[in-house]
Structure 1
Amino acid sequence: MSYLSATNMTGGYGKADILHDCTLTVDKGQIAVIVGPNGAGKSTAMKAVFGMLGLRAGQVTLDGTDISALSPQDRVKKGMGFVPQVNNVFPTMTVEENLEMGAFIRNDNYRVTMEQVFDLFPILKDKRRQNAGELSGGQRQQVAVGRALMTQPKLLMLDEPTAGVSPIVMDELFDRIIEVARTGISILMVEQNARQALEIADKGYVLVQGANKYTDTGQALLADPDVRRTFLGG
């Protein structure tokens, strides 16, 4: 059984369904990437998995446990970490304070985890006393990912982690995401930079109008002529 199994999700906002029988699964330590055109429901699917969107149909299980009825806060306690695309740091708090906020659900000594975050993102250690709002876009993304890692998640969900950053920073973030997955943490990621994201993906999902259009390994999707022509620019 997949570590995350979000099956047959149908739902949206109010009476308008955005997701239509959408299914996403991620195995332990896998990187799964959701790509597709604007308005395809990618971020909506992520929010549904995290419990921020009510579903009319479908089920979400984590490590074999049905969590469909749980709030986002309770899903964090079960092992989910979520990094939204925008407003994902506390700009008037220092880097270290942002990371401490990520440990709010923990009662143990979180300093070891903080050092692991600093090992993953060395620039954050150098800037630990600096307010997060003063950092570059790429550095703020590192803070946001680091704060999510402070909860010790088993599943890390990233909504457009490379939005607005340079290609060099994008490559660096993807390298760090690979490192996180190698520790056994499952990754579910929505990404506009589809070609680059599929290159690091164990599994890829192409969504169109809230439904699964293509599902395969990242490499298979990159090699699929229909996917390349329609979604990857040829």
Structure 2
Amino acid sequence: MSEPFLIGEAMTGGYGRGADILHGCTLSVDRGEIAVIVGPNGAGKSTAMKAVFGMLDLREGAVRLGGEDITALSPQARVAKGMGFVPQTSNVFTSMSVEENLEMGAFLRRDDFRGTMAQVYDLFPVLKDKRRQPAGELSGGQRQQVAVGRALMTQPKLLMLDEPTAGVSPIVMDELFDRIIEVARTGISILMVEQNARQALEIADKGYVLVQGRNAFTDTGKALLADPEVRRSFLGG
């Protein structure tokens, strides 16, 4: 068995000198796969993703990307290795135009990134129409598109999304999920934390249910949706 493209293995840790939030938590994603982390509030979902991105110190466990141990690398170094991260809040530069936000995503690149920008505009046509507009004037759903587009400008191999549909309408949520599926089809791996568990598991190749920083259930999205205990405890029946 070859190792998954990304694996955060047996991760235990918390923020600074505080108590551990994660307890032996394991997450993995294969190439071009969508993996979704769901669970109750306070389950450590966002913390698990931040651990993968290097935003908290692990006391135990390891993170490997493409077979390389990156546990000791800073978030910036992980971006250079091919990780893109979209936080839930404060994820756009509000005073900059849409296009300037996208250009900021290419800050590490030394090549011509106009082709990638064209791909982002193909994925999110509304951004092309509003490319001269300050990102702060956009709707919540459009801002999320800018944030995802900026992460895609780094040409990531793994895209991590923390609550991408928080605060958007059901129609916008469906549209964002459709775009996420399109991104995964290009071969980019997706790791996503999502409150809208049922809808997220419907598009997930793999799902993780976390409870108190531990793996409670791990299976395909379809299998978790069909599991009576998961449905009763986490999906409202």
**How many angstroms does 1:159 deviate by?**
0.1
Distance between the aligned counterparts of 2:11 and 2:18, measured in 1? 15
Matches within 5 A, 1:90-105: 90-105=93-108
Say which of 63, 75, 79 aligns to 1:60.
63
Say which of 130, 143, 147 aligns to 1:144.
147
**How many angstroms does 1:15 deviate by?**
3.1
Indicate the residue corresponding to 2:111 in structure 1. 108
**How many angstroms does 1:179 deviate by?**
0.1
Amino acid paired to 1:149: L
- Please give the secondary structure, in 2, of the residue aligned with 1:20: strand
Amino acid paired to 2:51: A
Q: Does 1:184 align with 2:187?
A: yes
Q: Does 1:135 align with 2:175?
A: no
Poorly superposed stretches of 4+, deviation over 4 Å: none
Say which of 40, 46, 50 aligns to 2:49.
46
Amino acid paired to 2:161: L
Distance between the aligned counterparts of 2:102 and 2:18, measured in 1? 38
Indicate the residue corresponding to 1:22 in structure 2. 25
- Please give the secondary structure, in 2, of the residue aligned with 1:16: coil
Corresponding residue pairs, total = 234
Distance between the aligned counterparts of 2:131 and 2:80, measured in 1? 26
**How many angstroms does 1:218 deviate by?**
0.1
With structure 1 as the length reference, what TM-score do the two structures score? 1.00
Say which of 66, 86, 89 aligns to 1:86.
89
Show CA shifts across 1:169-225 (max 9, x none).
000000000000000000000000000000000000000000000000000000000
Matches within 5 A, 1:66-77: 66-77=69-80
Indicate the residue corresponding to 1:11 in structure 2. 13
**How many angstroms does 1:79 deviate by?**
0.2
Distance between the aligned counterparts of 1:219 and 1:67, measured in 2? 31
- Please give the secondary structure, in 2, of the residue aligned with 1:195: helix
Stretches of structure 2 lacking an aligned partner (at least 5 in a row):
none
Question: Share of identical aligned residues, percent?
Answer: 82
Matches within 5 A, 1:152-163: 152-163=155-166
Distance between the aligned counterparts of 1:75 and 1:203, measured in 2? 23
**How many angstroms does 1:57 deviate by?**
0.3
**How many angstroms does 1:78 deviate by?**
0.1
Distance between the aligned counterparts of 2:123 and 2:18, measured in 1? 43
Distance between the aligned counterparts of 1:96 and 1:182, measured in 2? 24
- Please give the secondary structure, in 2, of the residue aligned with 1:205: strand
Q: CA RMSD in A?
A: 0.3
